[in-house]
Structure 1
């Protein structure tokens, strides 16, 4: 008989016997229930008796159910089903469930899966063990991860890399480096993970040291992620030399075609102040994405090249690539810094047309831009449109009201903030204290100051102390101000002493003014504002010898007074004026208007504040010096260049002087114009002979 025929006969005989046994089992057995656990009934029937037939069927049904629940993200149901399953799930099922736990950062559920694996007798291989390890690390449970790692009998590279990344994520860089040094072997991911950990946690020197060690090890080739981390370290150190070294390595290894690398190169050149090289990189980047555009635009803004940044943003809009919230926020902050409201409104319109997330911080930047440009009404409209304003939006609007002469509105908004459930931070209280200062609410401001610590559990910052000293000294309560200064747990800074000096100027407190000025001379001897303010105090009292001493001290120290500058935007063109400026094309008309309005002002009771002129000259000359201050020139130009009745908005780089403040009140009444002047500290809204600051600024 042939061998293959013999095999066939044996097979037929086996099938015959098996069929007989199954038939007998079916006829003799009845259905029964075996209770393994009172809450887990397992139904058994005759056809379930043979594992050859239905074990795979049950597993298939269980797997199908688990897969469906996982697709529906019903993790709790999956865990309940797993705990009620008598038979051991397959490795594939454990993998599916663990992946769902990882995606949901479900630490408790992941621990239950891990416990089930241990209790079922299933011996996981490196793949499933690494899944559990990854779950613990991503959920921040390093003790669980370390314990599992120690118990793993079969670790692979993934095991080491996962635990290193877990330690690095939590900032435990020393433990991560210890593991890195203990690794039996490494791959590119190991090196990159450790280098990026150093960068992320502000240890760029260690990152670059490790990067050089990797380069010396010829087994490993740096990839785009490695060199990008090394470039980030160079940018953090602002080391152009190191950045250029890495750039050379990139060119030699052929990594210069990757967009991620180009973006990192752009960042390092930008942060190191080499904007020309950064722009060179940017212009040659192929397939520029939103990140590349935004990075280059922000570099211009960071270097103070606002016009170049805004021009590039315009090019970005024409590129067809959609800006993201980071782009919009950066541009809006630039508009706020430059008080470029018209451009900010255009950006706002573009955001509305293209659609943006009202919950993003770009929305907060929009509120901030309008408040900084003096359009607090528009800022409030945007604020009310936000579904859930964040603390930045609340704080921006509170500060906006405070700086725009509406302190009571600022305080009302602060009360609404508290009722909304949001917790104010130290910046919020700067706006609140400023509102009290501008409204003259001294006792209320002191109450808010003490509530920062006693009611809200925050620590007083140097800014809080500067605000409360400003509040008290402006009202002449110098003894209380000094008491706070003497009891401060931190050293008074320049802002506090400047606030005290400003209060002394208002009330003519020579003794305390000299003390504040001396402290400021120690902190920043190059700041001309201190010398000028002290000289103003002496000049007001007619102490011309002391004024001369101050001027001599400035000459000896090489301190130059910052020239006052005012500007106004008319028909999308910015016009800049200096004191006595006759360079403007319409200067004759400007001076003619001021001459006419000056006569009218005196007829209505205007008296020049000549005691602030720092020269011992004739009274007529003092009046002449005051008459041509830059803000007066800008206001005059605005009136002759715009339609009657339209509002005027002027900006100044210094604090407006008392005489200009008084004069513009008269001009607003005579010209029947609303005149807004933003100086270095706040907005002044002049209308019908009154100012929004109520002469308290």
Structure 2
């Protein structure tokens, strides 16, 4: 009977209620259960959907003089504490560990570190780690490393990593995941390359994480390196891994490769479909995204919230207004999905871009949830595009009152005034922004070349090839002028002379990145740029002209979408 109970206790972590209930029914037949049976039952309950029941059994053990907890009991009980975030029960269990003299047991120590870490009690976690330093193994080090990585104290995590007497794949995985989740994407990728040099084979968590980092930064060469490593290490291509690859290629501008990988998948989950739909939408392939959605539903799959974010975004990027209205209605009335802020953001953006600003305003005012500043900002952006100064002024004041620290609201309102040539109002808004301690977010552009990531800001002269870049910029300017280019200086918010405005706009970060790209790529190669802000109207025109004059494709991922510039045209059809 005890052997059967032990076998049931080693069931998967997602043990069904029936499994744990069956185990419990066997256990309850024991008149005097021994410690082995009790520990097995605690383990089974800790893994079940009712881990709190393991506490009751643990408590009954204390009342039975013939079956007192031993060193095998505590890791199981602490597992239940971690699962439940039992901040009251865990410290009590810790006290029992101390009283019974089990503080030098490495398995209990590791369980305590993990418990305090999961509960966000980093100091307690460190205290357990520092006690009895001779009683530690690689799991102990990994547990404390995970504590600091989870708490985003990456400097301490990095220091601990350097002090580790030995490291395994889990150690590297913890640090890499910590870097990426903590926003230090480049460090995460550097750490991955260092791990590769040391000959270690990454696990699935590492691959998914570094693919995500490559995708977020738009670094295709990094993403290709990860893909190549996956192939050479004979990594098993699971659905999450293939989905991460599809996402990476889509976000790095290779939508064809993304689609090819998707079509080759034998098995897909809802996230695979979502990633592909959203990828097509971001590249402006609205009709293709909607066709894929229709195929998705015909296969009997049920869309989730994110699916409709992709669908509505696809409508917005392609200007499919009627389709967007229909899908918004389908989401709520057929699938019963309550619109969230992101859904409202997509439909408001769709209507606003298409000129239905009043309809978008009415939708926002009648929302079932309280609109956030981002949504009002989307509407304000529509006012800028369509020159609705009066409504834009009203919304701009409202936004600045709601979120006075957000510089984007000031900039949008100033843009609206600048477009209407109301320079006094531009100066007033900019002065208000400065007085409140807000500075405009600096625009930057990235380009991956010669095995490095090169970052440029407006007017940048810090690059080691700055002299050659500005010479190339002069060549570009000359050939643009020969082709009939006339600068659109409306994005320049300062009331200065036309020549000064032209000089200001010619050194925007994406132009410097493209000039560098022309220096380091061969004719016919694609130049790929990642920009943190939305590309301005003049730079958009310039990119189209450069793609034709220099016969090179340029792909720009800006803060809004992808732009594929080829032979003087853009994939967005000037609708962005």
Structure 2 spans left out of the alignment, 5+ residues: none
Query: Secondary structure of the equivalent of 2:428?
Result: helix
Alignment CA distance shift 1:214-1:475 (3 Å)? same
Match of 2:107 in 1: 225
Aligned to 2:278, which of 372, 391, 399? 399
Match of 2:310 in 1: 431
Query: Secondary structure of the equivalent of 1:646?
Result: coil
Alignment CA distance shift 1:131-1:549 (3 Å)? same
Q: Would the aligned equivalents of 1:169 and 1:197 in 2 still touch at CA under 8 Å?
A: yes
Structure 1 residue 540: deviation in Å?
Answer: 0.5
Matched, 1:199 2:82: yes
Alignment CA distance shift 1:307-1:593 (3 Å)? closer
Larger RCO, structure (CA 8 Å, separation 6 or more): 2
Alignment CA distance shift 1:223-1:543 (3 Å)? same
Query: Secondary structure of the equivalent of 1:188?
Result: coil
Query: Secondary structure of the equivalent of 1:432?
Result: helix
Alignment CA distance shift 1:521-1:226 (3 Å)? farther
Q: Would the aligned equivalents of 1:359 and 1:387 in 2 still touch at CA under 8 Å?
A: no
**What are the superposed Cα offsets for residues 411-441 of structure 1, whole Å, 9 maximum, x if unpaired?**
2222222233333221122111111111000
**What are the superposed Cα offsets for residues 207-227 of structure 1, whole Å, 9 maximum, x if unpaired?**
541343224423544633332
Matched, 1:510 2:389: yes
After the TM superposition, which residues 207-606 of structure 1 pair with which residues of structure 2 at under 5 Å, given as runs? 208-221=90-103, 223-251=105-133, 254-256=134-136, 258-285=137-164, 288-522=167-401, 524-602=403-481, 604-606=483-485
How far apart, CA to CA, are the structure 1 residues paired with 2:407 and 2:257? Answer: 36
How far apart, CA to CA, are the structure 2 residues paired with 1:466 and 1:298? Answer: 30
Match of 1:155 in 2: 33
**What are the superposed Cα offsets for residues 602-646 of structure 1, whole Å, 9 maximum, x if unpaired?**
554433222221111222222222222111122122223322232
How far apart, CA to CA, are the structure 1 residues paired with 2:569 and 2:410? Answer: 31
**What are the superposed Cα offsets for residues 317-366 of structure 1, whole Å, 9 maximum, x if unpaired?**
34444322112111211211222211211221121122222234122111
Structure 1 residue 463: deviation in Å?
Answer: 0.8
Instruction: Tell me how many residue pairs correspond in the alignment.
Output: 569
How far apart, CA to CA, are the structure 2 residues paired with 1:622 and 1:630? Answer: 15
Alignment CA distance shift 1:197-1:672 (3 Å)? same
Structure 1 spans left out of the alignment, 5+ residues: 1-124
Alignment CA distance shift 1:637-1:131 (3 Å)? closer
How far apart, CA to CA, are the structure 2 residues paired with 1:402 and 1:557? Answer: 37
Alignment CA distance shift 1:155-1:303 (3 Å)? same
Q: Greater Rg, structure 1 or structure 2?
A: 1
How far apart, CA to CA, are the structure 1 residues paired with 2:507 and 2:305? Answer: 41
Structure 1 residue 560: deviation in Å?
Answer: 0.9
Q: Would the aligned equivalents of 2:223 and 2:248 in 1 still touch at CA under 8 Å?
A: yes
Alignment CA distance shift 1:407-1:190 (3 Å)? same
**What are the superposed Cα offsets for residues 489-511 of structure 1, whole Å, 9 maximum, x if unpaired?**
22222332222122111112234
Alignment CA distance shift 1:231-1:575 (3 Å)? same
Structure 1 residue 685: deviation in Å?
Answer: 0.8
Q: Would the aligned equivalents of 2:348 and 2:378 in 1 still touch at CA under 8 Å?
A: yes
Alignment CA distance shift 1:218-1:154 (3 Å)? closer
Query: Secondary structure of the equivalent of 1:429?
Result: helix
Alignment CA distance shift 1:354-1:493 (3 Å)? same
